[in-house]
Amino acid sequence: MMESTVTRLKRMYLWPTASVTSRKPAFFLITFSCFLLYGSVMHLIVNDISMEEVHVIETTAGQFGVLYYLTLFTIYRKGILEIYADLSNFTKFGKPYNFDKRNKQLNQWSRWFSVVLYFFVISVFAWPGIFTQSCEDLNVALNKTEVCGVVSPVWLPFRFDYKPMKQFVYFWQSFCCLYSNGGAGTISFAMSETIEHLILRVEDLKILFPKIVAERSPEVRRKMLAKWVDYHLWLLSIGKLMNDTYRYSFSVIVLCAGTLFGCIGYTVMKNASTNFNSSFIFFGWMESVFVICVCGQRLMDAFHSVGTTVYNSEWCDTDVDFQKGVILITIRAQKPVRIYAGPFSYVSHLLILTVFQTSYSYINLLNASS
């Protein structure tokens, strides 16, 4: 299960392997990737923050978001490993209907997601390194002395405007972008993939219920219903574990996405012809946010539809005890499983709209301040 995604996470030491089970390598690489965030923050502190520095705020917000995401994932990694183990275990309730086909499809989607993600991630640090003319023109226009040919303007306690120091800084910044953005994007798909596998089991649950109703023997039907209820409760417990594990990482959508998109929107509106780098950051983030929110919405709809499937079955023709059980199942199914993004919002289609509303407010604020 999730072979493609897990392989990439293992390469980044974000997922335990046969030889490395400790989280120390992951924390080391995350700390090593803080270089770009540190330099951007120091640049904003040392220099006077003006409207021309919005692109540095973009870098700061983006790097803070992905490093925050990676750190919380690593801290709560035990939870996702438990979810993965539960969803990979077919001894108790068997393999869900269409599992192999769906797993193959998700692996294919994972590969395509990775191709698109790394195209944007590589473009983020490759573009400034190749096309330095816009940076040099901006230096002339604003009488600035920023070092061109690096991913983002940074302040460091030493000079780096000469070879080979500039190349050293550029490659370190590039590693920061590649590991932090690539790792966060891959993790977001891994979480979304576990949600899709849970949805697959909910669909399997819905397929099983009409077979229970069709059983003629009341005794056999009661046993089948008891096992079905155990299956339902087990899936609900996995949904609760997902919420308890993912809510901290998903809170980055509420904390950073709106601010980041607002800064990107302002930067692109001011000078769309030279700010392709901002567009790459936007599409890289938006890909992950969109996948997470769509999967969260699908999970809510899947659990909610269990009650509809049960109600629409021919349960009226069964015995009274079975009918009482159906009523309780229908009532419980009215409360959907939600995965929260922080304490207030939950991942759904509505969260995408909320992010864009927040970003629009920041664009207006920045326009009013300029």
Q: What is the pLDDT of residues 164-194, one digit of tens each?
A: 888 888 899 999 999 999 999 999 999 999 9
- What is the band of 217 on the pLDDT scale with cuts at 50, 70, 90? confident
Mean pLDDT of 232-251: 92
Q: What number is the average pLDDT over the span 288-307? A: 92
Fill in the amino acid letter for 110: S
Identify the weakest region by mean pLDDT among 101-110, 253-262, 290-299. 253-262
Supply the pLDDT for residue 331: 83
Distances (CA, A) of 315 to 229, 310, 358: 15, 8, 47
The DSSP string of 101-124 is: HHHHHHHHHHHHHHHHHHHHHHHH
The answer to whether the CB of 322 falls within 8 A of the CB of 222 is: yes
Q: Which residue has the higher pLDDT, 341 or 216?
A: 341
CA 276 – CA 98 distance, rounded (Å):
42
pLDDT for the residue 56: 81
- Beta pairing class for 340-341 and 345-346: antiparallel
Average pLDDT over residues 124-152: 74
* pLDDT tens sequence across 316-357: 777 777 778 788 888 888 888 899 988 778 999 999 999 999
Longest dimension (CA), the chain: 87
- Domain limits of the chain? 3-369
Contacts of 79 (CB under 8 A, 6+ apart): 241, 244, 245, 246
What pLDDT digit, counting tens, does each position of 39-97 carry? 888 888 887 666 666 778 888 889 999 999 999 999 999 999 999 999 998 888 888 88
Compute the distance between CA of residue 367 and CA of residue 262 in angstroms, rounded to an integer.
10
Tokens read off for 91:
């001894």
Here the tokens at position 71 are 């750190």
Averaged pLDDT of the chain: 86
pLDDT at position 274 = 55
Task: Give pLDDT, residue 133.
Answer: 67
Closest CA to 110 of 221, 197, 37, 212: 197
Judge whether 112 and 287 are in contact, CB under 8 Å.
no
Instruction: Report the alpha-carbon distance of residue 100 to residue 106 in Å, rounded.
Output: 10
Q: When comparing pLDDT for 316 and 223, which is higher?
A: 223
Q: What is the pLDDT of residue 370?
A: 67
Assess whether the previous peptide bond of 164 is cis (omega < 30° from 0).
yes
For residues 102 and 79, is the Cβ–Cβ distance under 8 A? Answer: no
Mean pLDDT of 211-226: 84
